[in-house]
A and B are shown apart, each in its own frame.
Chain A
Amino acid sequence: MERIACEWCRVQNPPGSTTCQTCGAPLDERNKVSDSGWREAPRLRDMTEFRFSGSVCQVEGELVPVAELALAPNDWVYFEHHVMLWKDERVPLSQMQTGGGFRRMFAGMPFVLSVASGPGRIAFSRDAPGELVVLPMPPGVEIDVREHAFLLAAGSVSYSFVRIKGLANILHGGNGMYLDRFITQQYPGMLMLHGNGNVLERTLRPGEKILVEPGGLLYKDASVQMQAVQQDLKVGLVRKLYLAEMTGPGRVGIQSMYVHHRTG
């Protein structure tokens, strides 16, 4: 029997699998792709399990889903502390410095990230209806994520942040001054996001452009260039509309329920 390739993360699964062992995506449902090229992120079924490193993640619920991790010894994950829902008493917590100091504070980003180490169980959720987006990261991948959208990342994924270049971005792009940047080097990793509402992904060809409401951006490959562009559209007596111009190549992920930022 043939192995089954996951259409979301491209990993091969054993014959007969109904969910991907690496990202939890259903394997027995058709990909949902719109005529304009947006692919819906797979909706993870209630109680779906998948593995990363030696650990197991189980997804519980569908409206505001919970990611429950059974961390193996020596595995660890990091996250913003307010996304913790519950944990075993024995799971130790520590902190990870992010660098950036006051620059991060002004951007509304946390100074430190929390770290949970195995063995033991810990669960995470954010506080809005939406979807969990599992992004397994092969070695050598860089993904930028809008602030406060990442739920957790495996310890093998390096964390940094990027300042969005360009004055217009800082003042008007609406996406803050920083994006979280997640990088894998020689080892694979796993990144999990929470998208508000529904999540859609589109892969841009080199040079291909789309305009996105800045509040709707969820993630992008680091290769996708983002720039705020003023539109010749009034949204107030003196204000004009700004949209984020995304230029390929690479993936762009958007969320359908977003924080609408001041746009000018």
Chain B
Amino acid sequence: MTETHVYTCRYCRHASDPTARSCVRCGAPVDVRAAVSTSGWQRQEPITDMARIQFGQSYVQVEGVQVPVADFALANGDRIYFSHHSLLWTDPSTRLTNMGLSGGWKRVMGGLPLFMVEAHGPGHVALSDNHAGDLVCLPLDHGQQIWVREHRFVAATGNISYDWTSTGVWYTTRSGDETETHYPLGRFGDVFTAREAPGLLMLHGPGNTFVRDLAPNEPLLIQPSALLYRDLSVGTHLHLEYPRGSGGFFLSSYSYRNVWLRLVGPGRVAVTSVTEHPEQSNRIVRSSYATSWRW
């Protein structure tokens, strides 16, 4: 009698083949021990070089490790969409078209180009990002949604719809008579939904990527620009922290304040190790809902 093992990929949370070298749904290696920090962060293992990820009748092969290339082999009738900035090479036989302008306003608001490109199979088309980091593949089940930070999108299968949403995370600073509004998480985020069937979403995380599953009401503070994606069940708001002893003649309490993004479970969050420098600080006069702490 043959014993049947049920294997759930710890990265994409889908049933997968335990005998394969890499998960057929997301490309993560199967045969490695999870690298989990004592605090609970799990390293998103880079997709194995030359791993194939199946979607529909098509697949994508990931080549390289430093700035990996996603080489899509599209079957007849399958399509993906992406920004032309990501295009590295294509077969002449692969049909490239512009996406319809419907939804263009959403794309512009969400930080995506107005003119997106669709590649239609059969044929090959290859994409890469311009930064060292990881490609992250997220297979989405029918009806599943995921929130993604703007400018992290690489490609999605044609059946994944795109929408944008306001992040609702902002603060206004004042310097003299001038006020400025800051959006540490970006003004808008992207929401991808697998509408009619399962689909594949591909992101690029600069540096290394780490994931963590938050328990209900479990809070966590992160650098806002580190967030790569999150389940929609994870709440987000600002948290302002003022270290003790930072007052004085030259130093105001806001000079050393920290602007955190406070995440509240339940759900999965992913962060990248490369972040953007926080903007220069002035006194915060207004903000979206924020918790605060003074040491």
Interface residues, chain A, with chain B CB atoms under 8 Å away: 32, 34-36, 38, 40, 63, 129-131, 196-198, 200, 209-213, 216, 231, 233-236, 241, 243, 245, 254, 256-258, 260, 263
Contact = CB atoms under 8 A, between A and B. Distances in A.
A262 to B, nearest CB: 12
Contact of B64 (A35, A40, A233): A40
B132 A210 contact: no
B117 A35 contact: no
Interface of B: 49-50, 52, 61, 63-69, 71, 73, 84-85, 87-92, 96-98, 113, 115, 117, 124, 126, 128-132
B69 A210 contact: no
A256 B64 contact: yes
B254 to A, nearest CB: 36
**Shortest beta-carbon contacts, A-B, top 6:** A197-B67, A198-B64, A257-B67, A256-B128, A256-B67, A212-B89
A211 B117 CA distance: 15
B63 A236 contact: no
14 contacts: A32-B63, A34-B50, A35-B61, A129-B67, A131-B66, A198-B65, A211-B92, A212-B88, A213-B89, A235-B115, A236-B115, A241-B96, A254-B88, A256-B63
A210 B90 contact: yes
Given A129-B132, A131-B66, 7 more contacts: A35-B71, A63-B132, A211-B92, A213-B89, A241-B84, A245-B92, A254-B88
Contacts of B52: 35
Contacts of B126: 36
Contacts of A231: 96
B109 to A, nearest CB: 17
Contacts of A233: 84, 96-98, 115, 117
A34 B128 CA distance: 15
A220 to B, nearest CB: 13
Contacts of B69: 38, 198, 200, 256
Contact of B130 (A245, A254, A258): A258
